[in-house]
């Protein structure tokens, strides 16, 4: 009797790609919703922004715990945070 393969490397790679796409759509959708609520409706949108940040933090912590992060992830993350801070400061200066 022939055994069928339920999951192989290809299946796992496709599943991981689908998770990546859904995460990107959810994250950027939440960011767009946050921007809309903040700029168009003048509402506080920290709850949505917190969902994006917490989602990314959970993913990063999980990967760190299983040692799946690249060696330079901390440097890249720090540069991204600094650039985001500079961009935020420029936006605040441009608005006021």
Task: Map out the domains of the chain as residue ranges.
Answer: 9-70
Q: What is the pLDDT of residue 1?
A: 66
Encode pLDDT of 13-57 as tens digits.
Answer: 898 999 999 999 998 999 999 999 998 999 998 898 898 889 888
pLDDT per residue as tens digits for the range 57-89? 898 899 889 888 888 988 999 999 999 999 999
- For residue 3, pLDDT beyond 90: no
pLDDT given for residue 20 in this prediction:
92
Dihedral, 85, 91, 45, 25 alpha carbons, nearest 10: -80
Examine the pLDDT at 5 and tell me if it is beyond 80: no
pLDDT of residue 7: 75
Residues in contact with 27: Cβ distance below 8 Å, sequence separation at least 6, in sequence order: 52, 55, 56
Measured CA to CA, the distance from residue 92 to residue 19 in angstroms comes to 35
Q: Output the pTM of the full model.
A: 0.67
* DSSP-assigned letters across all residues of 27-78: HHHHHHHHHIIIIIS----HHHHHHHHHHHHHHHHHHHHTT-S-TTHHHHHH
């Amino acid at each position: 009797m022939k055994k069928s393969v339920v999951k192989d490397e290809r299946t796992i790679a496709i599943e991981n790609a689908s998770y990546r796409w859904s995460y990107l759509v959810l994250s950027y959708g939440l960011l767009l919703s946050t921007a809309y609520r903040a700029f168009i409706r003048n509402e506080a949108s920290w709850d949505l922004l917190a969902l994006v940040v917490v989602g990314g933090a959970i993913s990063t912590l999980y990967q760190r715990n299983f040692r799946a992060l690249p060696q330079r992830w901390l440097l890249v993350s720090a540069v991204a945070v600094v650039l985001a801070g500079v961009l935020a400061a420029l936006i605040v200066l441009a608005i006021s």
